């Protein structure tokens, strides 16, 4: 998983994915959790994904929430379908990026990792997962 560059924009516009099997398993897990949380009200991330971002904002009405949920599902589905690809087109890379962002935010909220102090005291497995998602997001974002 750790290498010089995990994602490289090629001259033809595609993004090469240089993530090993372990890294892809983390990415796959993130994508699967986002999809599961959208569909299963019992999933620990469901409330995080379905709740309003800021209830005081007019745009956070039920129709805006439905549109956001639909977009999240669509991106997670596309990301899940392309998780084994060696090269991503712009739409697939965007779907990966947004789905990884949702997974990172959901993990942080569910695990109570909203401050650096909380992150430093969490168990090693959660810390590795969060740091991996962060690394994927930072490196993938450099390609945009």
pLDDT in tens, the chain (144 residues): 445 799 999 999 999 999 999 999 999 999 999 999 988 889 898 878 766 656 555 555 666 666 666 677 789 999 999 999 999 999 999 999 999 999 999 999 999 988 888 888 889 999 999 999 999 999 999 999
* Contact between 135 and 97 (Cβ < 8 Å): no
Phi, psi of 33 (to 5 degrees): -65, -40
Q: Domain of residue 69: give its range.
A: 7-141
100 inside domain: yes
With respect to residue 11, please indicate whether it lies within any of the assigned structural domains. Answer: yes
Per the domain annotation, does 21 fall within a domain?
yes
88, β-bridge pairs? 15
Is residue 92 included in any domain, yes or no?
A: yes
In a domain, residue 1? The reply is no
- pLDDT of 88 reads 98
> Does 128 map to a domain?
yes
What is the reported pLDDT for 65? 62
Q: Report pTM.
A: 0.83
**Residue 55 located in a structural domain:** yes
Cα–Cα distance for residue pair 46/60, rounded to 1 Å: 17
H or E, element range at 7: strand 7-9
Q: At what angle do helices 124-141 and 90-111 cross, to 10 degrees?
A: 150
Q: Is residue 89 part of a domain?
A: yes
The tally of domains found in the chain comes to 1
Q: Where are the beta strands (DSSP E) in 79-143?
A: 87-88
């Amino acid at each position: 998983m750790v290498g010089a560059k995990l994602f490289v924009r090629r001259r033809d516009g595609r993004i090469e994915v240089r993530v090993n099997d372990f890294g892809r398993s983390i990415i796959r897990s993130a994508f699967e959790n986002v999809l599961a949380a959208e569909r299963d009200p019992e999933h620990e991330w469901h409330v995080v994904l379905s709740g309003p971002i800021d209830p005081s904002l007019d745009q956070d009405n039920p129709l805006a929430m439905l549109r956001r949920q639909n977009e999240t599902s669509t991106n997670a589905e596309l990301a899940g379908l392309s998780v084994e690809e060696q090269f991503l087109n712009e739409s697939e890379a965007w779907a990966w990026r947004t789905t990884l962002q949702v997974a990172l935010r959901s993990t942080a909220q569910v695990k109570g990792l909203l401050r650096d102090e909380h992150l430093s005291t969490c168990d090693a497995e959660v810390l590795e997962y969060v740091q991996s998602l962060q690394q994927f997001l930072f490196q993938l974002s450099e390609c945009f």
